[in-house]
Structure 1
Amino acid sequence: MAIWGLVIETTVGVGERKHTEAYVLTHVEGTREEALVELERRARIHTPEHPRSPKRRRLFRERDGFLLVIDGAWQSFSTRFTVAELLDDSAAPPPPPPPEVAPPEAEPDPADTVPSPPPPSTPPVERDADGVPVRPAWWGRTDLP
């Protein structure tokens, strides 16, 4: 099954420092159509940092994704949403090892089992009327500095 990257390219900064940066939103394992459905869902709810006071919002569908154009008071800002198949990832986690098949274990003979001793009983803890212990649990421990 293919792994699809949902990539966003968005306008950041304002004025002379305005530029585009790309981010991978997430990965979708499945068909391209399933990835496009998830990408459209994210494009519809996306709220970019700029413009602060949007005047108009337009979402366009294109071949590999969507283009969101938001007109602000003085400038327009765009965000491109693209679906792309992941071919290689240098930081991908290693695949999980195949499950080991353990040989079937023989049923233990009830005569061979030794019953375990009962757990040591702890004395009841003295508590105030509101249920808080009178003596803290750490009081008297010798393993603390």
Structure 2
Amino acid sequence: MVVETTVGLGEGKHVEASVPAYVTGTRVEALAELERRARASAPEHPRSPRRRRLLRRTDGFLLVVDGVWQSYVTRFTVAEPVEDSTAPEAKPLVERFDDGVPVRPAWPGRPGPG
């Protein structure tokens, strides 16, 4: 997954990209994990958000946060790695409840897996 976000202020405003995680599994599973991250995202700018919009795209999500003077964008994209000279070992997805809490270990007051 790739995250591109607007950073900086004024004329120093620019976009930075990162690859926060590698996900093994289906495209649907990768998009579900990406959506979870997009919903939980709290960008540094704007410091005084007035409006937050999360939009679904075919390859991921677009988060648009309007501030007092400017809008800031974060793009969350599912992409298949083709080459990475120092790729970390892929980790399997963690099964989660709708609110993001992991299914395992068993949590008090929640149904078990299955």
TM-score, L = length of structure 2 = 0.75
Structure 1 outlier segments of 4+, above 2 Å: none
Choose between structure 1 and 2 for higher RCO, CA contacts under 8 A separated by at least 6 residues. 2
The 5 Å alignment of 1:47-66 reads 47-66=42-61
Name the CA distance, whole Å, in 1 between partners of 2:18 and 2:78: 12
Task: Read off the aligned partner of 1:24 and give its amino acid letter.
Answer: V
What secondary structure does 1:40 align onto? helix
Q: Which runs of 5+ in 1 are unaligned?
A: 1-5, 95-145
What secondary structure does 1:11 align onto? strand
Deviations 1:3-33 (A, max 9, x none): xxx1100000000000001000101001111
Name the CA distance, whole Å, in 2 between partners of 1:81 and 1:91: 22
Question: Once the 2 structures are TM-superposed, how far is the Cα of residue 93 of structure 1 from its aligned partner?
Answer: 5.6
The counterpart of 1:15, out of the listed 6, 10, 13, is 10
Q: Which residue of structure 2 lines up, in the alignment, with residue 30 of structure 1?
A: 25
Name the CA distance, whole Å, in 1 between partners of 2:87 and 2:18: 16
Name the CA distance, whole Å, in 2 between partners of 1:65 and 1:11: 17
Name the CA distance, whole Å, in 2 between partners of 1:34 and 1:13: 32
Cα distance change, pair 87–54 in 1 and its aligned pair in 2 (3 A): same
Question: Once the 2 structures are TM-superposed, how far is the Cα of residue 89 of structure 1 from its aligned partner?
Answer: 1.3
Name the CA distance, whole Å, in 2 between partners of 1:64 and 1:33: 11
TM-score, L = length of structure 1 = 0.59
What secondary structure does 1:85 align onto? coil
Q: Report the identity percentage.
A: 69
Task: Read off the aligned partner of 1:37 and give its amino acid letter.
Answer: A
Q: Which residue of structure 1 lines up, in the alignment, with residue 75 of structure 2?
A: 80
The 5 Å alignment of 1:127-142 reads none
Name the CA distance, whole Å, in 2 between partners of 1:93 and 1:47: 25
Larger radius of gyration: 1
Q: Which residue of structure 2 lines up, in the alignment, with residue 112 of structure 1?
A: none
1:69 aligns with 2:56: no
Q: Which runs of 5+ in 2 are unaligned?
A: 90-114
How many residues are paired up?
89
Q: Which residue of structure 2 lines up, in the alignment, with residue 41 of structure 1?
A: 36
